Amino acid sequence: MLTRGAQVTGVAVCGLCLTWVSVSLRFYVRLGLQKFIGREDWLTLAAMILFTLMCSLMLRATNFGLGAHWSAIPSDMLEDGLKFIFICELLYVATTAVAKLSIGVYFLRLSNQRYQFRVIYTTLGVVILFSTMYFWFLVFQCTPISFTWAQFYSNASGKCLKRATLAKLTYAHAVISAVTDSAFGILPVFFVWKLKMSLRTKISVVLILSLGFFASTANIVRIVYIYELEHTTDYSWFGINLAKWSIVEPAIRITAAAIATLRPLFANFLSFETHRSPLESKMPFAGSTRFSGDSHKVSGSGSALEYSAEFAEMLGLKKFGNRTHISAQKPLGWRERRRFAAAYRIRQRDCESQTELREVESHVPESDGIRTTTEVIIEKE
């Protein structure tokens, strides 16, 4: 039986190797260098597990006719093959949604402007809404559900959505996915647009955070093959192209989500640093104000020089000047104390000439509801 299943095997193996290596490096950076792990890391791991299951079932489907001509597939293999493809479709939707959630949650950690929070929350809301709708449309595209893979037998009874209706839903999901990928790809430009850092550092930050933009390109290619599959009856032969790009797209997205966290590793090996001009070295760095009762970071003075301490820590940047942390009603939680301690150890190791004044607290009792900590950082040229 002539088959193109080996194409899926090659793409799946490459995708799995790329994603597992990048995700492993991500956890090395988080646990080994930053001593911190967040919700976005667990979401990336969940996406990685779903992607691995999808690729495994896709490889299994090649043994049941995926990549062969429809008319050449034995009837005893066809039903099992269609079951595998049906589960892979559901895993694809879940994988892409979870991967985008991991990127969005990570961007929330880097954001410090209200419009950035609004854009990210809106994008995540659209992703969750359309992914959930499309997932359940796929589950119940046929009644009963078993008719999805049994409809090609003459003795089976049931009904399914029209092919045109299902194709329109698939187009809509692909377009929404491409648009949300583009939104996440463009947003990092606004993260660094007004920050006072060297052009090389800005470019490196934007490039490393915007890699998910390439997933939208893979989605556009998928739309072409969705159209091709809609206008053929040799589903298993022409569907091989759609299957390959359905592996490539989440592989790019998961890899991009992992690489976005690796700049601290690159900073160690490639000596990427934030350089200041002579004029910049004479200017005080405006600090950011953080309210411990709220997870959002609000910039203190709106200065073009501001970026949050967490932004610097997550991306391996060095920050100059002073920061004032104000907590109201209650002291900082143990998670934030651990995060500040990890960042302090990183700065101690990377900046030998750095002088820091920490733990300068006011003598106002915590019971009065106000506690301030001023951190002054001076780095000599």
C-alpha distance from residue 345 to each of 47, 225, 381 (Å): 31, 51, 21
pLDDT exceeds cutoff 60 at 8: yes
23 or 152: which leads in pLDDT: 23
In this predicted structure, what is the pLDDT of residue 345? 65
pTM equals: 0.72
Query: Is residue 106 a contact partner of residue 116, using CB atoms and an 8 Å limit?
Result: no
- From 110-119, 141-150, 225-234, 339-348, the region with the lowest mean pLDDT: 339-348
In this predicted structure, what is the pLDDT of residue 354? 43
Structure-token pair, residue 55: 């690729």
Own/partner long-range contacts of 69-78 (Cβ < 8 Å, ≥24 apart): 69/2, 69/234, 69/236, 69/237, 70/233, 70/234, 70/235, 70/236, 70/237, 71/234, 72/1, 72/2, 73/1, 73/236, 75/153, 78/152
pLDDT exceeds cutoff 80 at 334: no
For residue 244, which phi and psi values (nearest 5 degrees)? Answer: -65, -45
Name the band, by pLDDT with cuts 50, 70 and 90, for residue 74: confident
Q: How many CB atoms neighbour CB 264 within 10 A? A: 20
Q: Which residue has the tokens 């995926």?
A: 66
Q: State how far the Cα of 27 lies from the Cα of 272, in Å rounded to an integer.
A: 21
Over range 292-318, report the average pLDDT. 48
In this predicted structure, what is the pLDDT of residue 288? 37
Quick one: 352 exposed, middle or buried, by C-beta within 10 A (0-12, 13-18, 19+)? exposed
In 193-315, which ranges are continuous DSSP H helix? 199-209, 213-230, 235-259, 263-270, 278-281, 309-315
In this predicted structure, what is the pLDDT of residue 60? 92
94 or 365: which leads in pLDDT: 94
The H or E element containing residue 96 is: helix 75-110
In this predicted structure, what is the pLDDT of residue 186? 86
Write the CB contacts of 321 (distance below 8 Å, at least 6 apart in sequence): 284, 285, 286, 287, 305, 376, 377
Name the band, by pLDDT with cuts 50, 70 and 90, for residue 366: very low
46 or 190: which leads in pLDDT: 46
Q: State how far the Cα of 228 lies from the Cα of 144, in Å rounded to an integer.
A: 27
- Length of the chain measured in residues: 381
- For the chain, give every domain's residue range: 5-268, 278-379
Over range 321-329, report the average pLDDT. 51
The strands making up 354-361's β-sheet, listed across from edge to edge, are 321-328, 370-379, 354-361
Q: What is the pLDDT of residues 220-269, one digit of tens each?
A: 888 889 888 888 888 888 889 999 999 999 999 999 888 888 877 776 55
The H or E element containing residue 47 is: helix 39-61
- From 131-145, 199-213, 271-285, the region with the lowest mean pLDDT: 271-285
> Could you tell me if residue 65 is left (phi over 0), alpha (psi between -120 and 50 degrees) or otherwise beta?
left
In this predicted structure, what is the pLDDT of residue 94? 96
pLDDT exceeds cutoff 90 at 207: no
In this predicted structure, what is the pLDDT of residue 360? 42
Query: Is residue 61 a contact partner of residue 88, using CB atoms and an 8 Å limit?
Result: yes
Mode of pairing for the β-strands spanning 354-361 and 370-379: antiparallel
The DSSP letter of residue 68 is B
In this predicted structure, what is the pLDDT of residue 189? 83
Q: What is the pLDDT of residues 128-138, one digit of tens each?
A: 999 999 999 99
Task: For residue 144, say if its preceding peptide bond is cis, omega within 30 degrees of 0.
Answer: yes
Quick one: 277 exposed, middle or buried, by C-beta within 10 A (0-12, 13-18, 19+)? exposed
In this predicted structure, what is the pLDDT of residue 268? 59
C-alpha distance from residue 228 to each of 67, 234, 302, 346 (Å): 15, 10, 51, 52
Query: Is residue 321 a contact partner of residue 287, using CB atoms and an 8 Å limit?
Result: yes
pLDDT exceeds cutoff 90 at 202: no
Mode of pairing for the β-strands spanning 289-290 and 354-361: unpaired
Q: What is the pLDDT of residues 76-114, one digit of tens each?
A: 888 888 999 999 999 999 999 999 999 999 888 888 788
371 or 347: which leads in pLDDT: 347
User: Strand, helix or coil at 342?
Assistant: helix
Mean pLDDT value across the chain: 76
Of 126-130, 275-279, 362-366, highest mean pLDDT: 126-130
Query: Is residue 103 a contact partner of residue 253, using CB atoms and an 8 Å limit?
Result: yes
> What type of residue sits at position 346?
I
The DSSP letter of residue 193 is T
pLDDT exceeds cutoff 70 at 311: no
CATH class of 5-268: mainly alpha
Q: What is the pLDDT of residues 17-44, one digit of tens each?
A: 999 999 999 999 889 888 888 899 999 9
